[in-house]
Homo-oligomer: A and B are copies of this chain.
Amino acid sequence: MKKEKLHIVKIGGKIIEDEYRLSEVLDAFSAKEGRKILIHGGGKRASELLQTLGIQPRMINGRRITDAPTLEIVIMVYAGLINKNIVAQLQARSCNAIGLSGADANVILAEKREVKAIDYGFAGDIYKIDNQSINSIITNNFAPVFCAITHDGKGQLLNTNADTVAAEVAKAMAPFYDVYLYYCFEKKGVLTDPLNEDSFLPTLEVKQYQNLKTEGIISEGMIPKLDNAFSVLQHQVREVIIGDIQSLSGTTGTILKN
């Protein structure tokens, strides 16, 4: 039986920080027909608020060290300010959005990351997605908007990487839908020349990716993003696309292939 399409769009911090870009993405997301899910990162706002409150933000390998006061701030900014503003702006575009953390409807369960060389604090590694619950929300014609806050099922909220939330939600929904996962950021796609915005590859196969990594053409910052994105393809997700806002309509973006 042919499955229905489900578009999952992850938007990063640089889009959220830029009012104009965010507005463009929300226009494109609202205009997209059919079933859809939005997943958003955080942007600089949480770090700014932490600094105003005299708490020094700490990052290791691009991951936030989430101590107890930091956790409170990221919950406030991600699940509160950013999530509700995005939902209200989607409603203004007649998109019936519903904002969710992983605790809401018990959709994303995570466990607090074990302390090894680094203590990441209240960082959550996802171990279960309730795809039935997410599906019941989608089939009620709501468009879920996820922030990257999860919970452990025992009352503790946790901070999770938004790219990972997108990957795990995409994998979990693949049994029900033909899932198209868009990692939407400020570039047109995977660039072969970082100084030339138009040098994006329309497609990227995993072998080609390995070669470009070896040749040093794909820059370091992109590697965890692409590793994560390629891993999703192993799990029946139909297509993974990395690109800017226009990639939602297929004008730009790099389609990843096995």
Contacts and interface: CB of A to CB of B under 8 A. Distances in A.
A149 interface: yes
A81 to B, nearest CB: 5
Interface string A89-108: 10110001111110111100
Given A80-B75, A80-B76, A84-B79, A91 B52 contact: no
Given A99-B101, A101-B99, A105-B142, A81 B75 contact: yes
State the oligomeric state as a number of copies: 2
Contacts of A78: 80
Contacts of A89: 155
A14 to B, nearest CB: 20
A154 interface: yes
Query: In this complex, which of A52, A78, A84, A92 has the most chain B Cβ atoms within 10 angstroms of its Cβ?
Result: A84
Majority-rule SS of A interface residues: helix
A101 B81 contact: no
A153 B97 CA distance: 12
A79 B103 CA distance: 13
A186 interface: no
B155 A88 contact: yes
20 contacts: A75-B80, A75-B84, A76-B81, A77-B80, A79-B79, A79-B84, A80-B81, A80-B84, A88-B155, A91-B103, A91-B106, A92-B153, A96-B105, A96-B106, A97-B103, A97-B104, A98-B105, A99-B103, A105-B142, A137-B140
